Structure 1
Amino acid sequence: MGNKKAIGAGDRRHFFKTGFRGAPGTFELSDEQLKELQKTLLEMLKDFIKVFEEEKIFYTLSGGSVLGAIRHKGFIPWDDDIDLNMPRKDFEHLKEVFHKRLGDKYVLCGPECGRGYGMSHVQIKKKRTTYKAFNELTMKDTGIFIDIFILENTYDNPVKRKIHGMLCLALGYILTCRKTAEDWEALKPYLSVNEVLREAFEKKMKFGKLFKWLSLDKVAKCVIYWYSYCGLEDSRLVCIPSGRKHYFGEMYKREDMCQSKNAVFEGLDVRIPKGTKTYMEILYGPDYMQIPKEEDREIHSAVALDFDK
């Protein structure tokens, strides 16, 4: 209750990264847990890259994983995830071969996959593991995961692009609100120590209740239908509606994101976007190579972690 003024005056994005810190029933990973998690993620990435290369599926590292590759030659030391980008057509190919190539060890979770997933990006989760945070409280699949953000085609015509983008933003917001309404009873206990966080989620919950007549899976499928609506494979621009800056904030030249170059990540040969400099500046600003102060580093509070259940 007493931290409302301080948080309200701070940076909103930083607040949502750190707002769950100290919530009852949560913990921050120890150094040993973080190293074990990074080891597991790296093993998963090796499995995926092998299949991607054999199936000729285009991918690159994404977001903080790109930054880790160019700044640290691997994980950002305090980071607990790996992110990938993949064009829509390549993801459709991955869906076709996933069960045969990866289904023995992994589960594919995406907006169109059902099972109450309810998020707009894709995750591949390792079976027989658990890594539960606040997005996974009511999910059926809660394994250790790698995120995939889909590169969607967008229109070169600015009017069509504006209409498509506004529709994607609206639907993406509806999905997050509908998921908050779905998760509300499970989520409430973790909001008790932070009034600002509770108010923000309660606002989403109330709006999401207006769509309770639609299942979470139906809302998610509607969102992905419109995200992927533009079929122009030769458009000048692509975007990542499910990314941290959403549709207009993650608009890129196709050549920058759908072509790649080599990099090294923890000794593993990987691909990063051809336009890495532009990509990093859009996401993190011109000083992206600077190590942030400790208080500005992203915090990942977890509810459960199990490497072999």
Structure 2
Amino acid sequence: MKLPREFFYEEVRNGFYIPGMIKRTWGAALTILSEIDRICKKHGIQYHISAGTLLGAVREGEFIPWDDDLDIIMLRDDFNRFWSIAKSELPDELIFSFGDKSKDCNGYLAAVGIPEMKFRSEILRKYCEFPYPAGVDVFVLDDLAKNPEDEEFRKDVLRMLYTMIGLVESKKEKSRSFLKELEKVEELLEVQFDRNSPLAPQLYDVFHRVCQEFNGTGDMVAFLAYQMHHEKTKFPKAAFLGSKQILFCNREFPAPIDYDTVLKVIYGDYKKPVKAGGIHNYPYFKQYEERLKKHFGEKWVFSYQFKEEDLERPNVENFREILFKTVDSFRERQKKILEAYEKKNFLFLHTVLPACQEEAIALGNAIEVKKGGGCESVSVLEQYCESLYHAYQALEEVLHSDEKEIDRMLSESGKQLERMLKKLGSHLRKVRQTLEGEFKRQVVFLPHSAKHFDSLRPLIDALRAEEDVECKIIPIPYFDRLGDGNFSEMHYEGKEFPEGYEITDYRTYDFATELPDCIVLNSPYDEVNPVWSVDSFFYSRKMKNYTRKLVYIPPFVTDEINPKAEEDGKAFGNMEYYVTVPGIFHADLTIVQSEEMKKAYLAKIARFAKGGVSKKMRKKISGAGSCLLGEREGQNLVKEFRRFLLKKQ
């Protein structure tokens, strides 16, 4: 089954963040389902998608955002036929886990899947680069007795067997009470257990034989291992005596002919989405992560390890910053020049005026190297230098006069030297004004995906309207990753961005030379995302070396998340995929969708860092808003960004 590459990227649906690895879970399960579907069509075996899979297909045409598995359901006769041929029909890498047909079964629930992690490249390619065990659960339906008393008696027997299986699996089968119960079961059901062989498979086998006791006689069916504890979860058998093809992830699969009744039994008002619910064992593959880490060893990079130094940043000064510091130093020196004149400290003036001229010439040369010829600021600096020269010449006349002559010269013609010295200040003010027009604050945006441009567009539009800001949009390449973590196909979407926005080629922009005033990231993952990665040059830990201000703006919004609410358990759990990642810690500011979401971010970071959240970290996150939420929230983000951009560090 071929799925488009976009299928595997993280997304937000129904306000719920779906990590890329969950998408790979889905892809692997769909690949397994396609094998089941092939076999069932070949042999005329009826099956149906069920439970959350059926719900997602009917309501959304795809997986429910917070689901992490795939379920099908069969009537017992179809299941037995599938069981008898599964081993010979399934590809070698897939296992039908219910026991061999010729032997005892070993569970309540059957499944088809890869039971162990497979790192052979051909297996990873086939199963969507998913490196964990993957499978499709198979639920089996049996008839319920028409006589309620018969059904209640059967349920009592099943509960007894269920308890005994639990004791065996807890290694308590040697107890005297257990052995007495075993004898009772043997007498009641007229069976004989082999005490010298494992008891669990024998008990499971009896359990499933009891489940089939009334097959062929009932009008209602149920998955008895579940229904014996949930009495109302039973279905009209007629609902499964036919199929209706339904679209699921752009491919048709069989649904029960009366899927409406089936879904109402399971979910009630199934058309109304219900929040994700508690975290529990979601996602299921987390239990295998330590084994995967051990397999990768030092190559495992998919879990970010927080270090306190990640909160620190290098001191970066760009040309603009140095330029204005230099001009400001000239202006400070101008104050000292006027003070020296008032105190008649002509020797100081004699030294400082030529020095100012030399530095101004050097500054003009540097500007011409950076901007080329014809800059107004260079012209004003030349005027400044000329005024310095004339002031120096006037000062020379003063210094070569006797004391009486100096007093006369300083009082003549309105103190010409003083006027010259004061004129220097007006030149410097004009120098700064012209430089502010020629050297705007440069803000570089590094989106990787054209579809995420809307999360930045209002901010870019607002900054483009500012006279003192220069925006550069530099789409960056990104790579899909294989199941072993290696990069595969590269993607570059620079030509797919909206018209009307000038795009800068990332290959022509020299970060080390430009050192922009601010870099805005749309991706915070660095190397820890196992599904895709931007080019490693653009990782957050590297980008902060090329700018004084690194900002991360999430390209998505979710529903608000309450870390203490059970119904938000899965959503809060999934925050590890986009909160406890390098970019959040390396960025000088992260702007999230709301103050409440800021609290959720900080709560997640507190659990992750284990030492609480430092004051420095709290200042790094703002709940100002998101451009994706509406005009007002977008304006709030623009104001917060503007404030941060102008803030002195």
The TM-score range, normalised by the shorter chain, is 0.5 to 0.7
| SS of the residue 2:262 aligns to | helix
Conservation of the 8 A alpha-carbon contact between 1:168 and 1:247: no
Q: Quick one: which of 236, 260, 270 aligns to 1:277? A: 260
Aligned-partner Cα distance in 2 for 1:118–1:107:
13
Partner of 1:227: 211
Cα deviation, residue 277, structure 1:
2.0
Conservation of the 8 A alpha-carbon contact between 1:168 and 1:223: yes
| SS of the residue 2:263 aligns to | helix
Partner of 2:220: 237
| SS of the residue 1:289 aligns to | coil
Partner of 1:265: 248
Inter-CA distance 177–290: structure 2 relative to 1 (3 Å threshold):
farther
Alignment of 1:147 with 2:137, yes or no, is yes
Q: Quick one: which of 30, 52, 60 aligns to 1:72? A: 60
**Offset from partner CA, 1:89-134 (integer Å, 9 cap, x none):** 111111221122115231111167699984311111226537xxxx
| TM-score, normalised with respect to structure 2 | 0.34
Alignment of 1:126 with 2:108, yes or no, is no
Partner of 1:249: 232
1:34-73 equivalences in 2 (<5 Å): 34-73=22-61
Task: Give the AA of the match of 2:267.
Answer: Y
| SS of the residue 2:221 aligns to | strand
Aligned-partner Cα distance in 2 for 1:49–1:97:
13
Conservation of the 8 A alpha-carbon contact between 2:161 and 2:207: yes
Conservation of the 8 A alpha-carbon contact between 1:58 and 1:86: yes
Conservation of the 8 A alpha-carbon contact between 2:18 and 2:66: no
**Offset from partner CA, 1:193-234 (integer Å, 9 cap, x none):** xxxxxxxxxxx9999x947976222222221121122232x5
Conservation of the 8 A alpha-carbon contact between 1:111 and 1:220: no
Task: Give the AA of the match of 1:292.
Answer: V
Residues 46-55 or 246-255, more deviating: 246-255
Conservation of the 8 A alpha-carbon contact between 1:175 and 1:219: yes
Residues 274-283 or 212-221, more deviating: 212-221
Partner of 1:32: 20
Aligned-partner Cα distance in 1 for 2:266–2:82:
26
Cα deviation, residue 171, structure 1:
2.3
**Offset from partner CA, 1:33-86 (integer Å, 9 cap, x none):** 111111111111111101101111110011111111111211111211110101
Conservation of the 8 A alpha-carbon contact between 2:66 and 2:276: no
Aligned-partner Cα distance in 1 for 2:55–2:28:
20
Conservation of the 8 A alpha-carbon contact between 1:60 and 1:272: yes
Dislocated runs of 4+, deviation >4 Å: 111-118, 204-207, 211-214, 244-247, 294-298, 305-308
| TM-score, normalised with respect to structure 1 | 0.68
Partner of 1:293: 275
Conservation of the 8 A alpha-carbon contact between 1:52 and 1:58: yes
| SS of the residue 1:94 aligns to | helix
Cα deviation, residue 254, structure 1:
0.9
Aligned-residue Cα RMSD (Å) equals 3.4
Inter-CA distance 65–30: structure 2 relative to 1 (3 Å threshold):
closer
Aligned-partner Cα distance in 2 for 1:165–1:235:
15
Inter-CA distance 245–166: structure 2 relative to 1 (3 Å threshold):
closer
Task: Give the AA of the match of 1:293.
Answer: K
Partner of 1:136: none
Aligned-partner Cα distance in 2 for 1:260–1:221:
30
Partner of 2:201: 217
1:109-120 equivalences in 2 (<5 Å): 109-110=97-98, 118-120=106-108
Q: Quick one: which of 266, 269, 288 aligns to 1:304? A: 288
Conservation of the 8 A alpha-carbon contact between 2:71 and 2:139: yes
Inter-CA distance 122–259: structure 2 relative to 1 (3 Å threshold):
same
Inter-CA distance 111–238: structure 2 relative to 1 (3 Å threshold):
farther
Aligned-partner Cα distance in 2 for 1:160–1:244:
15
**Offset from partner CA, 1:126-169 (integer Å, 9 cap, x none):** 26537xxxxxxxxxxx9311100001122222222222233223
Aligned-partner Cα distance in 2 for 1:32–1:114:
40
Aligned-partner Cα distance in 2 for 1:264–1:105:
27
Inter-CA distance 239–127: structure 2 relative to 1 (3 Å threshold):
closer
Partner of 2:337: none
Aligned-partner Cα distance in 1 for 2:231–2:174:
26
Task: Give the AA of the match of 2:225.
Answer: S
Conservation of the 8 A alpha-carbon contact between 2:98 and 2:107: yes
Aligned-partner Cα distance in 1 for 2:174–2:248:
43
Aligned-partner Cα distance in 1 for 2:104–2:41:
30
Inter-CA distance 51–114: structure 2 relative to 1 (3 Å threshold):
closer
| SS of the residue 2:246 aligns to | strand
Conservation of the 8 A alpha-carbon contact between 1:86 and 1:148: yes
Conservation of the 8 A alpha-carbon contact between 2:47 and 2:72: yes
Q: Quick one: which of 157, 160, 170 aligns to 2:150? A: 160
| SS of the residue 1:96 aligns to | helix
Q: Which has the larger radius of gyration?
A: 2
| SS of the residue 1:74 aligns to | coil
Q: How many residues align?
A: 244
Aligned-partner Cα distance in 1 for 2:255–2:199:
37
Inter-CA distance 100–279: structure 2 relative to 1 (3 Å threshold):
same
